């Protein structure tokens, strides 16, 4: 008997078992003898549940997948847009527990308060570096992926440029390389970026543009690499051979770059002409749309994202992003009142008190 036939006859047996159940206990006992699997028989009232579980196990045998999907593929597939694009943010424990209102909550508030941003959360994948942040992510009913970190502790707050901070950033680069290798485009966003408007209209949707990356301050010339103060806290990247090669080359620098953070390493590679050698087409994003504390957008009426860059600690970022939320609400309440961003005092002070 081949597999399909045996499955079929098995189903017939199941079906007859089901019919017999309707007839009463006497028949049930007959079936019990016929098949040990049915020894733990439910009462007739629980029958639907019993049938459901048996048909489910059959569905599983019939729908054998041609290949084994890995966990990352599953997370990406369920999160991505039709264009195979995901929004990726990475958190650790510090981002979900620190302070009265942790960073992840403020980040999510941005999507809630922003214009046309609520639906984007459907395409947001939270990458958790430890169990606590993973648990928090699941609790918030988001798309979550637990990073595997072979015994490294990424739990606490990583002060800017500490060794742990640098290691965590490298781990991030490795993970994102893996996402590209799975064939997914993504927007990477730090969680200290508020999404106040849907950024997609301000990003060019063209596969021939490999990477569109934010800068600390915009010096004009969106297509020229020269002296661009890039910031890896927000960028969109398309998955292709060139970008995969870029990320591989970037990560390969890890051991030769002691004391440098991955962002500086990317800047160095760019200055050494790696983008040109790989044929990478890069666009540098105007702070008018992709704003930050280093250089505020001149126009709240068009701004998409606000990044708490130029800031050293999480608590300072939380304080100053909360002010941004207040500014935004003030703007929404009355858009004819002249608008000014609140000063980023917490972040300015964060550099003084070491
Ligand atoms: C997805 O692709 C369609 C066309 O293929 C385009 O209109 C749309 O803007 C894209 N959406 C995103 C989020 O990239
Ligand atoms: C994408 O960019 C390329 C090169 O600039 C151009 O030839 C092409 O028409 C663009 N495609 C779309 C859909 O805009
Ligand atoms: C990379 O290039 C190879 C051939 O050179 C091609 O088969 C493959 O699909 C490309 N992969 C991507 C991600 O573009
Ligand atoms: C860096 O060094 C470690 C330990 O020597 C090694 O296991 C790892 O493969 C190296 N990584 C890279 C990207 O070269
Ligand atoms: C908005 O502010 C302007 C100027 O202060 C004021 O004249 C107007 O009444 C306000 N509108 C609302 C809806 O509060």
28 and 164 in a single domain? The answer is no
In a domain, 353, yes or no: no
Domain, as residue range, for 13: 3-62
Nearest partner of 191 among 92, 73, 326, judged by Cα: 92
The answer to whether 126 and 149 have CB atoms below 8 angstroms apart is no
How far is 195 from 102, CA to CA, in rounded Å?
A: 16
Q: Is the pLDDT of residue 30 over 90?
A: no
Q: Which long-range contacts (CB under 8 A, 24 or more apart) does 238-241 make?
A: 238/185, 238/207, 238/209, 238/210, 238/211, 239/84, 239/179, 239/180, 239/181, 239/182, 239/183, 239/184, 239/185, 239/186, 240/207, 240/210
Examine the domain organization and report whether 55 and 162 are in the same domain: no
Query: 53 and 92 share a domain?
Result: no
C-alpha to C-alpha distance for 80 and 110, rounded to whole angstroms: 20
Is residue 252 lining ligand 4, measured as CB closer than 6 Å? Answer: yes
Give me the pLDDT at residue 159, please: 57
Whole-number Å distance between alpha carbons of 59 and 122: 28
Q: Establish whether residue 251 lines the binding site of ligand 4, counting it when its CB lies within 6 angstroms of any ligand atom.
A: yes
Distance from residue 337's CA to the centre of ligand 5 (Å): 7
C-alpha 206 to ligand 2 mean position (Å): 6
Give the residue, by CA position, lying nearest to ligand 3 atom 13.
Answer: 240
> Looking at the structure, do residues 90 and 189 belong to the same domain, yes or no?
yes
Which residue CA neighbors atom 5 of ligand 4 most closely? Answer: 255
- 145/71 Cα distance (integer angstroms): 8
Q: Over 50: is that where the pLDDT of 295 sits?
A: yes
Report if residue 354 sits inside a domain.
no
Residues 43 and 86 in one domain: no
For residue 221, give the CATH number of its domain: 3.90.550.10
Which band of pLDDT confidence, cut at 50, 70 and 90, is reported for residue 168?
A: confident
Highest mean pLDDT among 28-42, 65-79, 331-345: 331-345
> Could you tell me if 306 and 326 lie in one domain?
yes
- Atom in ligand 4 nearest the alpha carbon of residue 254: 13
| Residue that is last in its domain, among 18, 35, 62 | 62
Asked whether residue 195 carries a pLDDT value surpassing 80, the answer given is yes
> Residue 222, Cβ neighbours under 10 Å: how many?
15
Q: What integer is the mean pLDDT of 52-66?
A: 42
Is 67 part of any domain?
no
Same domain, 57 and 90: no
Does one domain contain both 265 and 295?
A: yes
Average pLDDT of the segment spanning 320-349? 95
User: How many CB atoms sit inside 10 A of residue 195's CB?
Assistant: 28
> Is the beta carbon of 206 within 6 A of some atom in ligand 2?
yes
Ligand 2 contacts CB of residue 208 (under 6 A): yes
CA quadruple 320, 236, 97, 132: dihedral, nearest 10: 180
Q: What is the mean pLDDT of residues 250-255?
A: 92
Number of domains in the chain: 2
pTM of the predicted structure, to 2 decimals: 0.79
Is the Cβ atom of 337 under 6 angstroms away from ligand 5? yes
Rounded to 10 deg, the angle between the 163-181 and 241-252 helix axes is 160
Measured from CB, residues less than 6 Å from any atom of ligand 1 are 81, 83, 85, 200, 205
- Which of the ligands is closest to the CA of residue 250? 4
What mean pLDDT is predicted for residues 3-9?
Answer: 50
- Taking only Cα atoms into account, the Rg of the chain, rounded to an integer number of angstroms, comes to 26
CB-based contacts of 54, cutoff 8 Å, min separation 6? 14
Residue 83 CA to ligand 1 centre (angstroms) = 6
Q: Whose CA is nearest to atom 4 of ligand 1?
A: 83
Over residues 68-86, the pLDDT tens digits come to: 578 999 999 999 999 999 9
Give the residue whose CA is nearest to atom 6 of ligand 2: 208
Do 58 and 76 fall within a single domain?
Answer: no
Q: Residue 104 in contact with residue 95, Cβ under 8 Å?
A: yes
* More confident site: 56 or 213: 213
* In a domain? residue 245: yes
Residues 106 and 225 in one domain: yes
Residue among 312, 79, 346, 264 at smallest CA distance from 187: 79
Return d(Cα 35, Cα 52) in angstroms, integer: 18
Angle at 281 between CA 280 and CA 282, to 5 degrees: 110
Give yes or no: residues 51 and 85 share one domain: no
Query: Which residue matches tokens 């990044």?
Result: 307
**Ligand 2 center–CA 208 separation, angstroms:** 7
Which residue is closest in CA terms to ligand 4's atom 7?
255
Protein residue closest via CA to atom 5 of ligand 2: 208
Residue nearest atom 12 in ligand 5 by C-alpha distance: 334
Report whether 230 contacts 266 (CB < 8 A): yes
């Amino acid at each position: 008997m081949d597999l399909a036939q045996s499955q079929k006859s098995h189903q017939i047996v199941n079906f007859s078992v089901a019919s017999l159940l309707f007839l009463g206990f006497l028949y049930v006992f007959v079936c019990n003898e016929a098949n040990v699997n049915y020894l733990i028989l439910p009462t007739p009232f629980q029958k639907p549940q019993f049938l459901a579980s048996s048909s489910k196990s059959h569905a599983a045998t019939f729908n054998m997948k041609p290949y084994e999907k890995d966990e990352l593929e599953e997370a990406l597939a369920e999160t991505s847009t039709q264009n195979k694009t995901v929004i990726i943010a990475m958190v650790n424990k510090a981002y979900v527990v620190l302070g009265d209102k942790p960073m992840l909550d403020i980040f999510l508030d941005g999507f809630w308060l922003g214009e046309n941003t609520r639906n984007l959360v459907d395409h947001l994948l939270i990458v958790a570096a430890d169990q606590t942040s993973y648990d928090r992510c699941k609790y918030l009913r988001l798309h979550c992926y637990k990073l595997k970190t072979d015994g490294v502790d990424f739990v606490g707050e990583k002060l800017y440029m500490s060794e742990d901070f640098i290691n965590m950033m490298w781990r991030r680069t490795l993970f994102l390389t893996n996402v590209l290798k799975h064939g997914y485009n993504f927007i990477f966003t730090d969680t200290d970026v508020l999404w106040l408007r849907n950024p997609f209209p301000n990003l060019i949707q063209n596969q021939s543009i490999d990477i569109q990356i934010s800068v600390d301050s915009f010096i004009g010339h969106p297509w020229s690499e020269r002296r661009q103060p890039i910031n890896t806290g927000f960028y969109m990247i398309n998955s292709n051979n060139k970008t995969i090669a870029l990320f591989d080359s970037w990560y390969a620098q890890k051991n030769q770059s002691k004391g440098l953070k991955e962002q500086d390493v990317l800047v160095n590679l760019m200055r050494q002409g790696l983008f040109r050698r790989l044929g990478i087409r890069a666009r540098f994003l105007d702070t008018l749309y992709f704003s930050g504390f280093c250089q505020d957008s001149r126009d709240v009426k068009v701004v998409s994202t606000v990044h708490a860059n130029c800031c050293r600690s999480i608590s300072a970022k939380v304080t100053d992003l909360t002010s941004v939320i207040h500014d935004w609400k003030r703007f929404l309440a009355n858009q004819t009142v002249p608008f000014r961003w609140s000063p980023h005092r917490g972040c300015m002070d964060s550099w003084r008190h070491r």
